[in-house]
Amino acid sequence: MIRLEPRRQHSTLMVYLAPVLAVGLTLLLGIAAFSLMGKDPLAVLHAFFVEPVSTRYGLTELGVKAAPLILIAVGLAVGFRANVWNIGAEGQLTVGAIAGGGIAIYFHQSTNPALLPAMLVAGAGGGMLWAAVPAWLKTRFNANEILTSLMLSYVAVLLLSYLVHGPWRDPAGYNFPESRIFPAAGTMPLLLAESRLHLGLVLALLAAFGCWLLLAKAFLGFQLRVIGLSPRAARYAGFSERRLIWFALMLSGGLAGFAGVSEVAGPIGQLLPTISPGYGFTAIIVAFLGRLHPLGVIPAGLVMALTYLGGEAAQITVGLPAAVTGIFQGVLLFFLLACDALTYYRLRFGRPTLPERHAT
Amino acid sequence: MSEIAWLVPVVLTVITASTPLLLAATGELITEKAGVLNLGVEGMMLVGAIAAFAAASATGSGALGILAGALCGASLALVFAVLTLSLYANQVATGLALTIFGIGASAMAGAGFVGFALQPLPQLALPYLSSLPVAGPILFGQDVLVYLSFAALVAVAWFLARTRAGLILRAVGEAPESAHAVGHPVIRVRYLATLFGGLMAGLAGAYLSLAYTPMWAENMTAGRGWIAVALVVFATWRPWRLLLGAYMFGAITILQLHAQGAGIHLPSQFLSMLPYLATILVLVLISRDRAKIRLNAPASIGRAFRAEH
C-alpha cells in the first residue's frame, strides 16, 4: 500500500524537481502513445522538439512565441499567488491588440516615432480596462472572477471579429476580414535581421525581472503572498483584500494587453480575426510550470513556446494534427500537478502506523 | 390554436439549446454538493462530444454514441478525481488543465471527422400523443437525451432532498471532517460525485454533437461548459432553480438566432455576445448577496480533504 504522508516542511528540492519530472513523464507518455500509433517515437520527438530549434531562424521563433507567454504568465503568477484567478488573459490580450491596433489603423499614414509607444501604452491600457471589469465585479459584487474574466474573453474575441469584418476592414483588402497593414512607425523594432524576433522579448524579460523585485522586495509583494497563503492572517494584519485583487488584475490585464499589442505590432503586423493561438490559456500552464515565480516563468515560457513550434513542425514532417500541442500542454500540467504532491507529501510504503496511545 | 402555432418551433429550439446546459449543470451540481469544484466541464463536454460523434458514426448507433460520450466524460473526471482527491492537487488548476487537455484531445481525435454530418438522434414518438397539436411535438416528440435531462434533474432533486445517500453527500460537502468522524467515506463519496459530474458533462457533449448540431466542429461547446458552472452558482446550488437557469439561457441563445429574423439589424457578433454577457449579469445579481452565497454554497467547496486516521 502506498500512502502520502505530509511533510513537516515542504520540500524545496521538489519545488524545482517537479517541473523537470513532469516534462520527463510527459515525454515518456508521448513515446508510449506514438509507439501505439505505429509511428517511430524517436522520429516524432525529434521532429517535435529538436528540428524546430536546430536552425538560427527556429531559435529566433522560439523567442517570438515565448515573449507573449512570459509577459502574460508573469502577471498571472503574481495573481495566482494571491488566489486571484484571472483566466481571461486571452480576452485582455485581444482588447490590448484592439486598442493598440486601433491607433495604428487610425494613424495609418503616420511616420511619427511616437506612434509605437502610444500603441503600446494603449494596448496595456486596453488589457487593464478589460481586467478592470472582473476586478470591479469581484470587489463590488463578489462575482467570481474566474467565470467573469473567462466570459469576457469570448466577448473580446467577438468584438475583434466584428471590427475586422466591419468598420476596420482594409478598404483595399478585397473584402478579406483583415485590417490595414500597420505603418512602419507602428511596428515593433526587430532584434535580429532576417527573423521575426522583436523588442517584445526584451520587454517580457524586463517585466519578469520587475515582478520578481516586486514580490521579493516590496511590501505589496509580501502582502500578495500572505493573502494567498492565509487570507485570514492577511485580514488580521489589516491588508486590504480589495486593493490586492485590483492590483493583481490590473497587473495581469495590463501585461496581457501589452502582449496582445506586441503581437499585432510585431509578427502579425495587422489585425486579423484570430491573433493568438491561445497564448492567454497556455500562459496559465506557463505560470504553474514556472512555479508561480516571475523568473521561473522564463524557462517555462521557452518550454511551452517549443510545444507550439513542435506542433507546427510535426504537422508538416510527421503528419500529426496541430492539436497535438494542446494535448501535450494539458498532459504536462496534469503531471506537474501530480508531481507537486511530492512537494508537500512524501511517499510511504506499507501500512500506516497509528500513533501510540497512552493509557490514561 | 393558430395564434400559438408559431410558438411551437421556438419552444422546440429553446429546448434543444437548454438541454446541454441542463445536463452539464445537473452533473456539476452533484460534484459541487460533495465539496468538489470541477472547472473542467468545458473539456469534459468536448471530449464527450467527439467520443459520441465518433462512436455514432462508426457504429451507426445513437445509443452507442451516447454511451461513449458519457464514458469518456467520466474518464476525464476520473483523472481530475485522482489528481485532486488522491494527490491533493489544487482543484482550480486541475479543472483548468482538464479543459485545456479536453480542447486539445477533442481537436486531435476529431481532426478526421470535420465536415461529416450525422443523422440527428431520432425523436421518441408516442402513438397519438405526439400528433397532438402544440403539446404533441413539445411534450412527446423529443429525443431521448431531452427526456433524460429532465429525469436526471428530478432524480438529483429527490436524491439530495429525500435519500440517506443524498444526506451523506451533502454532509461530505458541508463538513467533511465531521462526516469522516462519524464514519462516512469522504473520499469515496467525492470520487463518485466527480464521476457523475463527468458522466453528465459527457452526455451534454453527446447531445451537442448528436442532436443539437449533428456534426463535429473544433471547440463546438463554445463556452457552454463554463456557463453550466455559472448556472450552478446562479441556482444557489438548488436543483429546481437550475431548470429555470438552463431554460433562461437556452432562450437567450435562441433569441439571438431569431433576432435577425425579426428585423433587428445588429451585427451578428453582438448578438453572439448575449449568452456570455447574460452569464456575467446573472452572476453579479446572485453573488452581490454575500450572505445568500455563503448560506447556500457547500461549505467545503474547493478544499482538499485529507483523513488524518
- pLDDT of A352 higher than 70: no
- Distance, in Å, from the CA atom of A267 to the CA atom of A61, rounded to the nearest integer, reads 10
Confidence grade of residue A77 (pLDDT, cut at 50, 70, 90): very high
CATH of the domain at A197: 1.10.3470
Confidence grade of residue A351 (pLDDT, cut at 50, 70, 90): low
- pLDDT at residue number B29: 97
- pLDDT at residue number A322: 76
Confidence grade of residue A161 (pLDDT, cut at 50, 70, 90): very high
Residue-averaged pLDDT of chain A? 89
Report B:1-20 residues touching A (Cβ under 8 A): none
- pLDDT at residue number A45: 85
Helices (H) and strands (E) counted in chain A, each on its own, are 13, 2
Higher pLDDT, B122 or A150: A150
- pLDDT at residue number A193: 82
Total domains in the fold of chain A: 1
With an 8 Å Cβ cutoff, are B270 and A162 in contact? yes
Q: What is the pLDDT of residues A245-278, one digit of tens each?
A: 999 999 999 999 999 999 999 999 999 999 998 8
Which residues of B are less than 8 Å from A166 in CB distance? 267
Positions of chain B with pLDDT lower than 70, given as ranges? 1-5, 126, 260, 308-309
- pLDDT of A359 higher than 60: no
Confidence grade of residue A323 (pLDDT, cut at 50, 70, 90): confident
Report B:247-276 residues touching A (Cβ under 8 A): 267, 269-270, 272-273, 276
Contact B67, B55 (CB under 8 A): yes
User: Is the CB of A285 inside 8 Å of chain B's CB atoms?
Assistant: yes
Q: Which residue of B has its CA nearest to A2?
A: B86
Query: Which are the contacts of B232, defined by CB distance < 8 A and separation ≥ 6?
Result: B25, B28, B29, B32, B242
Q: Which residue of A has its CA nearest to B112?
A: A321
A231 burial (CB, 10 Å; 0-12 / 13-18 / 19+) is middle
User: Looking at the domain assignment, is residue A246 inside a domain?
Assistant: yes
The model's pTM is 0.90
Output Rg (C-alpha) for chain A, integer angstroms.
22
Mutate which of B82, B98, B280 to disrupt the A interface (most A C-beta within 10 Å)? B280
Where do the structural domains in chain B lie, given as residue ranges? 2-125+137-296
- pLDDT at residue number A360: 44
User: Looking at the domain assignment, is residue A259 inside a domain?
Assistant: yes
Q: What is the pLDDT of residues A195-229, one digit of tens each?
A: 898 999 999 999 999 999 988 888 887 888 787 77
The whole domain housing A313 covers: 40-317
Q: What is the ipTM, given to two decimal places?
A: 0.89
CA torsion sign, A316 to A61 to A34 to A330? negative
User: Is the CB of A341 inside 8 Å of chain B's CB atoms?
Assistant: yes
Q: Which CATH number fits domain B2-125+137-296: 1.10.3720, 2.60.120, 1.10.3470, 1.10.15?
A: 1.10.3470
Nearest CB to A324; choose among B94, B96, B108: B108
Confidence grade of residue A174 (pLDDT, cut at 50, 70, 90): confident
Confidence grade of residue A85 (pLDDT, cut at 50, 70, 90): very high
3-state SS of A190-209 is: ECCCCCCCECHHHHHHHHHH
Nearest CB to A144; choose among B100, B269, B287: B287
- Distance, in Å, from the CA atom of B151 to the CA atom of B158, rounded to the nearest integer, reads 11
Q: What is the pLDDT of residues A286-305, one digit of tens each?
A: 999 998 999 999 999 999 99
- pLDDT at residue number B228: 96
- pLDDT at residue number A239: 80
Which triple of cell numbers denotes residue B53?
460523434
User: Looking at the domain assignment, is residue A231 inside a domain?
Assistant: yes
- pLDDT of A74 higher than 50: yes
Nearest CB to A143; choose among B101, B273, B287: B287
- pLDDT of A358 higher than 60: no
Confidence grade of residue A182 (pLDDT, cut at 50, 70, 90): very high
User: Looking at the domain assignment, is residue A26 inside a domain?
Assistant: no
User: Is the CB of A331 inside 8 Å of chain B's CB atoms?
Assistant: yes
Q: What is the pLDDT of residues A18-34, one digit of tens each?
A: 889 999 999 999 888 88
